[in-house]
Structure formats: structure tokens, C-alpha cells
Copies of this chain bind each other. A is one copy, B any other.
Amino acid sequence: MYNRIKQEAYDANMELPKLGLVLFTFGNVSVVDRENKVFAIKPSGVPYEDLKPSDMVIVDFDSNIIEGDLRPSSDTKTHAVLYKEWEGIGSIVHTHSTYGTAWAQSNRDIPIYGTTHADHLTKDIPCAPPMHDDMIKGNYEYQTGYQIVDHFRDCHLDYKEVEMMLVGNHAPFCWGKDGKKAVYNAAVLEYVAKMAFLTEQINPEVHRMKDSLINKHYERKHGKDAYYGQ
């Protein structure tokens, strides 16, 4: 019944080590089935080389396990909140990829310095602050989901345009219409994060790029007359 999302979640998870985005099991991808209001997610602690499509765990939007013998990723509640709150997303990726995580540990948004960034979003990649202590002590992974959702609302960010972000002192979360796009976004975030780091090292006085160029690049790829591709 859930074979499609299990296979898609498996395929997407297997892309993470190929793209150099994970060490050991430090990452997970889920894929949603909107009709049945469930998602398939990587089981907890299983090495990528041992993973099979049938290992994916099926979970509903309240984090109840619907199908599967293995324990779902410990980040499952964060995924569930995002699927519940953001109806337009089809897949979520969480990694501790090196450069993205370093920006998250720095508690800084990643400034938009070039067209590689602007091809994908017009905003700095946002970094949500770490949670308040009582949220940390409570239902932590569930609250992480709301920390993300609340930060987007507070900053007037649209999750359909900004498909990647950082949780402060933690690491990146990305999403997209399907598993392939979500993993693509996770790789783009890491690439942009590395180049932004280098840019500031090369020119400590650097400014964000100008709005006219940001908008041109974003519109040529995502606007109503989009024509982009390389």
C-alpha cells in the first residue's frame, strides 16, 4: 500500500552518502503520501549500506507508527509537524552536512552572495535561533518542528520559495515537492554554504548581491516565464 513512498524515501536516503552529505547515519529523508496522511521515513541508526526499501517506517502526522518493524528516525516528530503545518511539501531532508552545519553552529543566516544562491531562493538562508530551555526539556523533536514553522512565520518567509533552512546550533533541514527535489535542495544548501564561507574569507567587506540581480536569477528559473537550466 505504501510501496511508492517507501521506494522514493529509500532512493532519496541513498543519495545522501553519494552526495557526500552524511557521515555514518547522520541524516534522514522522509516522503509523504498526502492522500493517506502518512509519510515514509528512514529507520533509526541503520547504516546506509544495509538499508532496504522495506525498512522504511510509515508514520502519520501525529507521529504514530502505522507500519514497520524498525524504530523510525529520532527526528520523526519534526518531520510530522512540518508535513502537518505545511501542506505543500512532499519530502523532508535532514543532514549534518559540513558547511551547512558550521553556519548553523555559528547561528547566522547564510547571506545571498551570488547567482548560485539566487537561482534557488531570493532570501538569505534563514537560521532559526535555538529553542527556549523549556521547549528543549519538553517534547524536543516536536518543538523543533514548531521552531522552524514559527521562525518562517515570524520572518514572513514562504516555505514554498525558501525550501532550506538551518536550526541554530544544530543543522540543516530542507524540503521539496518530492524526495529528489528535497535532496537536491540539501546539496544546494551545502554548496552555497561552502561558497559563502569562502566569499567572506576572500573579501571580509563583501555585501549581499543587489536585488535586481537576485530577482532576475530567481525569476528566470521560477517566474511565470521561467526559461532557466544550464
Contacts and interface: CB of A to CB of B under 8 A. Distances in A.
Interface stretch (A4-12, A83-91, A149-157, A207-215): A207-215
How many chain A residues sit at the interface, stated as a range, is 35 or more
Nearest to A75: B230
Candidate in A116, A201, A228 with the most chain B CB atoms within 10 angstroms: A116
Contacts of A227: 44, 71, 74
Given A23-B191, A115-B169, A203-B106, A198 B230 contact: no
Contacts of A98: 191, 194-195, 198
A162 B44 CA distance: 23
Contact of A140 (B94, B106, B220): B220
A131 B210 CA distance: 10
A59 to B, nearest CB: 14
14 contacts: A23-B187, A24-B184, A24-B187, A27-B230, A74-B229, A75-B230, A98-B198, A104-B114, A105-B199, A106-B199, A114-B171, A116-B171, A130-B213, A133-B212
A45 interface: yes
Interface string A93-123: 0101011011111111000011110000000
